[in-house]
Amino acid sequence: MSTLTTNPDTAPAGVETAKKLGLLPEEFEKITQVLGRTPNFTELSIYSAMWSEHCSYKNSIKQLKTLPRSGPKLLAEAGQENAGLVDIGDGWACAFKIESHNHPSAIEPYQGAATGVGGINRDIFTMGARPIAQLNSLRFGDIAKEASSRWHMRGVVKGIGDYGNAFGVPVLGGEVYFDPCYTTNPLVNAMSVGIVRTDKVISATSHGVGNPVFIVGSATGKDGIHGASFASKDITETSMDDLPAVQVGDPFMEKLLLEASLELAATDAIIGMQDMGAAGITCSTSEMSAKGGCGMDIQLDKVPTRQQGMRAWEILLSESQERMLVVVKKGREAEVQAIFDKWDLNCVQIGTVTEGGTIRFFQGDELVAEVPAESLVLGGGAPVYEREIKEPAYFAENAKFKTDDVDEPDDLRRVAYDLLASPNIASKRWVSEQYDSMVRTNNMSTNAPSDAGLVLIKETGKALAVTVDCNGRYVHSDPYKGAMIAVSEAARNIACSGGEPCGVTNCLNFGNPYDPEVYWQFSQAIKGMGDACRAYDTPVTGGNVSFYNHTVTDKKNIPVFPTPTIGMVGIVPDITKRMSLDFKQKGDLIYLLGRSTEDIACSEYLTRIHKIERSPAPYFDIEEERRLHTMLLILIRKGVINAAHDISDGGLWTSLVEMALPRALGFDVITDSEIRPDAFLFGEGQGRAVVSVSDEQETPFLDFMQASRVPFILLGHVTKGKLMVDDAPFGTIDDARKVYEEAIPKIMAEQ
| Catalytic residue ranges | 54, 101
Alpha-carbon gap, residue 261 to 254, rounded angstroms: 10
Nearest CA-CA partner of 470 in 568, 605, 564: 564
Alpha-carbon gap, residue 360 to 174, rounded angstroms: 43
List beta partners, residue 570: 465, 501
* Structural contact between residues 265 and 126, judged by C-beta atoms closer than 8 angstroms: no
Alpha-carbon gap, residue 543 to 177, rounded angstroms: 21
Alpha-carbon gap, residue 284 to 689, rounded angstroms: 45
Alpha-carbon gap, residue 217 to 224, rounded angstroms: 16
Alpha-carbon gap, residue 699 to 701, rounded angstroms: 5
Half-sphere exposure at residue 499, Cβ-oriented, CA atoms within 13 angstroms: 31
Alpha-carbon gap, residue 702 to 714, rounded angstroms: 10
Burial track 443-460 (b if 16+ CB lie within 10 A, e otherwise):
bbbeeebbbbbbbbbeeb
Q: Are strands 323-328 and 722-725 parallel, antiparallel or unpaired?
A: unpaired
Q: What residue type is 416 in one-letter code?
A: A
Say which residues have a Cβ less than 8 Å from residue 421's Cβ, sequence separation at least 6.
739, 740, 743
Q: What is the DSSP letter of 699?
A: H
* Structural contact between residues 496 and 646, judged by C-beta atoms closer than 8 angstroms: yes
CB atoms within 10 A of CB 258: 23
Alpha-carbon gap, residue 701 to 693, rounded angstroms: 8
Q: What is the DSSP letter of 515?
A: S
Alpha-carbon gap, residue 53 to 246, rounded angstroms: 17
Alpha-carbon gap, residue 97 to 189, rounded angstroms: 10
Q: Over the Cα atoms of the chain, what is R_g? A: 26
Alpha-carbon gap, residue 210 to 220, rounded angstroms: 25
CB atoms within 10 A of CB 160: 28
* Structural contact between residues 246 and 111, judged by C-beta atoms closer than 8 angstroms: yes
Alpha-carbon gap, residue 673 to 684, rounded angstroms: 18
Alpha-carbon gap, residue 382 to 374, rounded angstroms: 8
Alpha-carbon gap, residue 98 to 93, rounded angstroms: 17
Three-state SS at 132: strand
Alpha-carbon gap, residue 553 to 543, rounded angstroms: 30
Alpha-carbon gap, residue 428 to 497, rounded angstroms: 20
* Structural contact between residues 238 and 292, judged by C-beta atoms closer than 8 angstroms: no
Say which residues have a Cβ less than 8 Å from residue 633's Cβ, sequence separation at least 6.
495, 498, 500
Say which residues have a Cβ less than 8 Å from residue 198's Cβ, sequence separation at least 6.
75, 87, 91, 92, 93
Nearest CA-CA partner of 406 in 143, 648, 589, 676: 676
Say which residues have a Cβ less than 8 Å from residue 372's Cβ, sequence separation at least 6.
34, 357, 358, 359, 381
Alpha-carbon gap, residue 455 to 706, rounded angstroms: 33
CB atoms within 10 A of CB 461: 12
Say which residues have a Cβ less than 8 Å from residue 474's Cβ, sequence separation at least 6.
481, 482, 485, 486, 602, 617, 618
